[in-house]
């Protein structure tokens, strides 16, 4: 007879709600022994959400208190229990179910999550680290087989001699890795500009709380600081740092170290927000930052609430130009949209196959190489789809 298993599906990180899943022939019986509804019978009908409390029964270990639990029978012999997110409540319920005879298993062995292949398993593992809505949705698609199915389709195209169509599909997948590689490693966006242009104020405004110190004195921020956020559901690491001056203008070793760090972060960034205060306009420091960076660049005219007439147009290429005020918030949503448009020019529709691990892109590159050298139909062992799918 199959065992009845229970697992905690949510992580132990602080959260409002924890979710446990119990599955197996005795799932309903065990739940009925540790849960009672706030009203009505304790019979659980499929896909009906029921509210109730934990119960302590004579001669059975008590959960300790009347914890609120929402239960839902999601399948014939599967029930999900939603309780308080603190570690204690869920551990007590797990203990109780275990003492009744349920086998406690790790979340990634929950029967509903059983992956059909390695790619689906990787998507499940990465889902735990996804911290934005879009990343989660894309990884859920891959967990449900989007990438695996697309690879099978490509294999079929190759096997049936449709080499051009297969090559086009491989190219599309390789291009989508630009998104896939950022699902759990957010895009990095760096605020850069001379001292006092309003970098820290803009960081605070976009985060929605006061993370960095803001002061009228130039040179307030010395070290670099990074916070994780999301724009339009995409994961973003936003970095603020020391204002950049020319090497000839800075003599304080701490300031020089701060400038070096800002420039290093800006060089490594996926997108740099080059901030210009209209009162002082474009300066040699801006030239320095511009020359040192290569990723996407957005020109931000800061302090737009001061209504200072704008400086002359700059004959350099930018991915976008936006005026913004950290005091009124004007232009900040437009700026976030400009950042998203620069980083993700085309958002994938639901269900799109997206490679998301380094080994996926390496494998696709190898397959593409075999394609271009006319080897695709011979299915070389290091480029075979079954090897990637495990």
Residues that bind ligand GTP (CB under 6 A): 195-201, 214-216, 218-221, 243, 302-303, 305-306, 325-327
Determine, following the binding rule CB under 5 A, whether residue 239 of this chain makes contact with Mg ion.
Answer: no
Residue 326 touches Mg ion, criterion: CB under 5 A: no
3-state secondary structure of 188: strand
Q: Which is nearer to Mg ion, 32 or 220 (CB)?
A: 220
Cα 361 to Cα 275: distance, rounded to the nearest angstrom: 35
Q: How far is the CB of 219 from ligand GTP (least distance, A)?
A: 5
Is 5 or 196 the residue whose CB approaches ligand GTP more closely?
A: 196
Counting contacts by CB under 5 A, is residue 221 touching Mg ion?
A: yes
Across the beta sheet with 49-54, the strand order is: 35-37, 49-54, 68-75, 78-84, 17-23, 5-8, 103-104
CB closer to ligand GTP, 171 vs 306: 306
Whether 90 and 40 have beta carbons less than 8 Å apart is answered as: no
End-to-end Cα, the chain, rounded Å = 29
Query: Please, where are the H alpha helices in the chain?
Result: 27-34, 87-100, 118-127, 133-143, 146-159, 163-180, 199-207, 253-268, 284-292, 332-343, 358-372, 385-389
135 binds, among Mg ion, ligand GTP, none (CB under 5 to 8 A by kind): none
State the virtual CA torsion across 303, 305, 306, 310 in degrees, nearest 10: 70
Partner interacting with residue 316 (select from ligand GTP, Mg ion, none; CB below 5-8 Å by kind): none
Q: Return the structure tokens found at 52.
A: 């109730």
Residues 199-218 as x/- pattern, contact with Mg ion by CB under 5 A: xx------------------
| Sign of the alpha-carbon torsion through 114, 115, 116, 118 | negative
Number of residues that bind Mg ion (CB under 5 A): 4
Residue 306 binds: one of Mg ion, ligand GTP, none (C-beta under 5 to 8 A by kind): ligand GTP
Q: How far is the CB of 200 from ligand GTP (least distance, A)?
A: 3
- Which region, judged by CB under 5 A, interacts with Mg ion, from 7-15, 129-137, 161-169, 197-205? 197-205
Nearer to ligand GTP, 121 or 220 (CB): 220
Q: Which residues bind Mg ion (CB under 5 A)?
A: 199-200, 220-221
């Amino acid at each position: 007879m199959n065992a009845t298993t229970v697992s905690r599906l949510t992580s132990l990180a602080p959260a409002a709600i924890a979710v446990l899943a119990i599955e197996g022939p005795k799932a309903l019986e065990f739940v009925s022994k540790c849960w009672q509804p706030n009203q009505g019978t304790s019979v659980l009908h499929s896909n009906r959400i029921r509210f109730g409390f934990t119960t302590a029964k004579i001669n059975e270990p008590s959960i300790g208190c009347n914890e609120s639990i929402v239960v839902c029978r999601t399948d014939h012999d599967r029930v999900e229990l939603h309780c308080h997110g603190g570690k204690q409540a869920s551990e007590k319920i797990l203990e109780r179910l275990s003492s009744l005879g349920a086998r406690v298993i790790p979340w990634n062995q929950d029967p509903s999550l059983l992956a059909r292949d390695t790619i689906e398993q990787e998507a499940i593992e990465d889902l735990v680290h996804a911290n934005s809505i879009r990343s989660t949705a894309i990884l859920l698609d891959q967990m449900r087989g989007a990438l695996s199915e697309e690879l099978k389709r490509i294999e079929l195209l190759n096997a049936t001699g449709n080499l051009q169509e297969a090559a086009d599909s491989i190219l599309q997948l390789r291009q989508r890795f630009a998104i896939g590689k950022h699902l759990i490693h957010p895009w990095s966006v760096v605020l850069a500009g001379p001292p006092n242009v309003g970098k820290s104020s803009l960081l605070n405004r976009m985060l929605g709380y006061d993370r960095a110190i803001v002061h009228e004195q130039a040179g307030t921020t010395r070290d670099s600081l990074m916070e994780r956020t999301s724009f339009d559901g995409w994961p973003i690491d936003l970095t603020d740092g020391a204002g950049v001056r020319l090497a000839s203008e800075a003599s304080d070793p701490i300031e020089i170290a701060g400038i070096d760090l800002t420039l290093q972060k800006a060089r490594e960034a996926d997108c740099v927000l080059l901030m210009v205060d209209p009162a002082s306009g474009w300066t040699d420091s801006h030239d320095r930052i511009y020359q040192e960076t290569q990723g996407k660049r957005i020109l931000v005219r800061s302090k737009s609430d001061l209504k200072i007439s704008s400086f002359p147009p700059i004959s350099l290429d930018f991915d976008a130009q936006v005026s913004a005020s950290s005091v009124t918030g004007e232009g900040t949503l437009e700026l976030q949209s400009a950042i998203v448009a620069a980083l993700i020019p085309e958002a994938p529709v639901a269900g799109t196959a997206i490679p998301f691990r380094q080994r996926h892109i390496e494998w696709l590159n190898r397959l593409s190489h075999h394609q271009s050298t006319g080897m695709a139909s011979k299915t070389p062992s290091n480029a075979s789809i079954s090897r990637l799918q495990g």
